[in-house]
Amino acid sequence: MTKRHYDVVVIGLGAMGSASLWHLARSGVSVLGIDRFSPPHNQGSTHGETRITRRAIGEGEALVPLALRSHQLWRQIETETGADLLHETGSLIIGRPGDNVARPGRTGFVDRSIAAARHFNIEHQVLSAAEIIARFPNFTPQDEEIGYFEPGGGYLHVEACVEANLKLARRHGATIELGTKVLELGDDGGGVKIMTGNETIHAGQVVVSAGPWAPGLLGAPFDEPAQAHPAGDALVRNRAGSPPDMVAVPGVHVASRRGRNRLFLWLSQHQRGVDENRRRILWPPIRPGRHRTRRNR
Ligand X SMILES: Cc1cc2nc3c(=O)[nH]c(=O)nc-3n(C[C@H](O)[C@H](O)[C@H](O)COP(=O)(O)OP(=O)(O)OC[C@H]3O[C@@H](n4cnc5c(N)ncnc54)[C@H](O)[C@@H]3O)c2cc1C
Sheet holding 91-95, edge to edge: 91-95, 146-150, 125-127
Give the number of other CB atoms < 10 A from CB of residue 16.
27
CB of 297 to ligand X, least distance (A): 25
Q: Are 139 and 126 within 8 A, CB to CB?
A: no
Question: How many Å apart are CA 82 and CA 266, to the nearest integer?
Answer: 26
**Closest CB to ligand X among 214 and 293?**
214
Question: How many Å apart are CA 160 and CA 248, to the nearest integer?
Answer: 36
Question: Which residues sit at the interface with ligand X, rule CB under 6 A?
Answer: 11-17, 34-37, 39, 43-46, 51-52, 181-182, 209-213, 217, 267-268
CB of 201 to ligand X, least distance (A): 12
Q: Are 277 and 228 within 8 A, CB to CB?
A: yes
**Closest CB to ligand X among 211 and 244?**
211
CB of 44 to ligand X, least distance (A): 3
**Closest CB to ligand X among 29 and 210?**
210
- Cα–Cα distances (Å) from 166 to 12, 18, 28, 149, 265, in that order, read 12, 6, 16, 33, 16
**Closest CB to ligand X among 34 and 85?**
34
CB of 33 to ligand X, least distance (A): 9
**Closest CB to ligand X among 91 and 238?**
91
Directed axis angle between helix 64-81 and helix 158-171, to 10°? Answer: 70
Residues with Cβ within 8 Å of residue 107, at least 6 apart in sequence: 99, 100, 101
CB of 289 to ligand X, least distance (A): 28
Q: What letter would DSSP give residue 249? A: B
CB of 130 to ligand X, least distance (A): 28
Give the SS3 label for residue 113.
helix
**Closest CB to ligand X among 35 and 145?**
35
